[in-house]
Structure 1
Amino acid sequence: MVRCAGFSHCKLALVFAVLMDLLGGTALLMGVFAPLEIRGRDFGDLLVYTGALLVLASLAGWVLWYSGNIDGLTAKKELGRVGGAVDLLARTLSRKFHAYRNQR
């Protein structure tokens, strides 16, 4: 039996996202609530900004993990004629825009 069946794809992105969230949240909270002074200089702002950047970096991990777990996308071969019709429409529109732009 598979443990963590819901986390089956992109485990590295999930670990990255969770780790960045934990580190970023810890740094952010330490910067806000802990008195961090060294030689009379306050370093709380540095931790707040660093924590915010780490939490923002975790967003990339969450997007990669979520998009890697999307199932049910059909392959181009399975689309059959619909894919060909969409490709033909896109090609026709692209040629018309290109011809219009070159006429100017």
Structure 2
Amino acid sequence: MVRNLRIIIMLIAGIIVCILGLMNRYDIKTLTITMIIVLAIFFILGSIIQKIINRLYAQVDKREKEKKLNELNKNLEEIDNKDDDNEEIEDDNEPVEDDKID
């Protein structure tokens, strides 16, 4: 699962806005308002992206677990089939009595 992705996206956007604001010589009030708006927008976008990625991870994990479960079931069936074959062979062989040898 992905954690703190929304915060990372928000901080990167904040750094970019801060650098661009300082390069363009915005006054502090304009830069602060712009920064707050950008941080809020990118926090929301980051939250949405994080939820989507977490759902994708959950689906992949679910598919992997199902695949492993299917493989285990197949292996178990193969083992059961081998055991059934061995039992049939053992049932066909009757013990020889001592009187019938001579």
TM-score (norm 1): 0.37
Q: Decide which structure has the larger Cα Rg and report it.
A: 2
User: Could you say which structure has the greater relative contact order, defined with CA pairs below 8 angstroms and 6 or more residues apart?
Assistant: 2
TM-score (norm 2): 0.37
